[in-house]
Amino acid sequence: MRPIVIDARTATDHFPGIGRYVVNLARSMSQVAPDLNLTLLHDPQAISTRLTLPDLPRIACPVSPFSVQQQWIVPQHLRRSEASLYHSPYYLMPYWPSVPTALTCYDLIPLIYPEYFTARQRLVYRLTHILALRTARVALSISESTKRDLIRFFHCEPGRIVVTPLAADEHFSPQPPEVVTAIKRKYSLPENYVLYVGTNKPHKNLVRLVQAWQAVNLKSHPPKGTGGRLPNVKLVIAGHWDIRYSGARQVAEELGLEDSVIFVGPVDDADLPALYSGAELFAFPSQYEGFGLPVLEAMACGTPVICSNVSSLPEVSGEAAILIDPLDIEAIAKAIEHVLIDAALGRDLRENGLAQAARFSWKQTAQATWAIYRQMTI
């Protein structure tokens, strides 16, 4: 078989989510179809501290996805390698690649929340998506929600979009107490905490999460003589912090929650399973997700989950999480309180979450992708 080329130039620290997708897909594809002539297009100058590409044949292409040069350099490489198919995991790609092309789509945040982007950013985003979707023979969508958005905004034919869900990496599993204790010590975490993992971009809804936490905090640390129902628990917000969106931190300070809300910043990927495992609850009130992988990661670690009832999150969480309206601060607070108070509910959520996470695997994603490749190369 002539080579099938997966563009792995996004397997860098600049693209943590897309990079993980590329690495996991390529690794799993080589396992489910070992005879497949799979080749990775990569940039040898781009160094990743977190991602390691599998040991597969490679084509060196030192051109960034942001460079106009890729429009003629990548097609040259595809012709020289006699590629039978090109798979781009990113919409900034060569738009005349000269071979049948598959495109993976994740979310359409600039179109769902245009207020967070400039007019120029929205225009470029829309035009490049139009070009990418016209180039691709098949679009791979990571959720039914994203598929609906592609049809809504770009009038794509439903038959050209195939849903191939993501999955939690294999190392996400319940961690032993001594490992959890070591991680708490490493990041100076309290014994009991509610956890959020993700970026602080506006659609992640962290301001409302902190506002909801004020009500929870009053019941965790009630004034003297008033009694209390909740354990002494704090809110831990972990993940990359963009200084442009400091609203959650400002609100925490305004509400006097500096001691009750802990911003730990980025966490090593290897530490995430223990961070999830040590939490009393994982709270994810995002207003929009293409998939919502942290929800699945938390479930795989046996952590109870509450998450939003919008976009892809209901299809990812199934019936294993408490779903809330992300715009309802009171509902967020009550859901957190409910899980912290009701031990039986917490146990049910843990068991159901483990079962739900097990329904997703990179092997299944690779098998579905391989079926698309076969259809395109017949």
Assign residue 105 the CATH number of its domain: 3.40.50.2000
**Residue 8 has what pLDDT?**
96
Same domain, 24 and 96: yes
Of 96, 106, 97, 78, which is closest to residue 4 (Cα–Cα)?
78
Same domain, 64 and 160: yes
Same domain, 350 and 372: no
Q: Is residue 351 part of a domain?
A: yes
Same domain, 350 and 373: no
Is residue 84 over pLDDT 90? Answer: yes
pTM reported for the whole predicted model = 0.92
Task: Write out the DSSP string of 308-344.
Answer: ESSTTHHHHHTTSSEEE-TT-HHHHHHHHHHHHH-HH
CA distances from 86 to 5, 12, 131, 171 (A): 5, 19, 15, 30
**Residue 224 has what pLDDT?**
44
Q: Is residue 171 part of a domain?
A: no
Q: Is residue 306 part of a domain?
A: yes
Same domain, 325 and 338: yes
Same domain, 272 and 301: yes
Same domain, 257 and 341: yes
Q: Is residue 74 part of a domain?
A: yes
Number of domains in the chain: 2
Q: Is residue 295 part of a domain?
A: yes
Mean pLDDT of the chain: 93
Same domain, 238 and 369: no
Does residue 286 contact residue 198 with C-beta atoms inside 8 Å?
yes
The mean per-residue pLDDT over the stretch 266-291 comes to 96
Does residue 276 contact residue 197 with C-beta atoms inside 8 Å?
yes
Q: Is residue 172 part of a domain?
A: no
Angle (CA) 34 38 43, round 5°: 135
**Residue 227 has what pLDDT?**
42
From 9-18, 178-187, 350-359, the region with the lowest mean pLDDT: 9-18
Give the pLDDT band (50/70/90) at residue 23.
Answer: very high
Residue 161 lies in domain: 4-166+361-377
From 32-36, 53-57, 214-218, the region with the lowest mean pLDDT: 214-218
Is residue 279 over pLDDT 70? Answer: yes
**Residue 364 has what pLDDT?**
96
- 195-221, pLDDT tens digit by residue? 999 999 999 999 999 999 999 886 665
Q: Is residue 98 part of a domain?
A: yes
The mean per-residue pLDDT over the stretch 3-23 comes to 91
CA distances from 359 to 115, 353, 364 (A): 36, 10, 9
**Residue 335, amino acid:** A
The mean per-residue pLDDT over the stretch 174-179 comes to 98
CA 123 distance to own-chain centroid: 24
Report residue 99 as tokens: 């071979």
**Residue 168, amino acid:** A
Q: Is residue 253 part of a domain?
A: yes
Same domain, 27 and 131: yes
Same domain, 337 and 211: yes
Same domain, 232 and 290: yes
What is the DSSP-derived secondary structure letter of residue 12?
Answer: S
Same domain, 10 and 86: yes
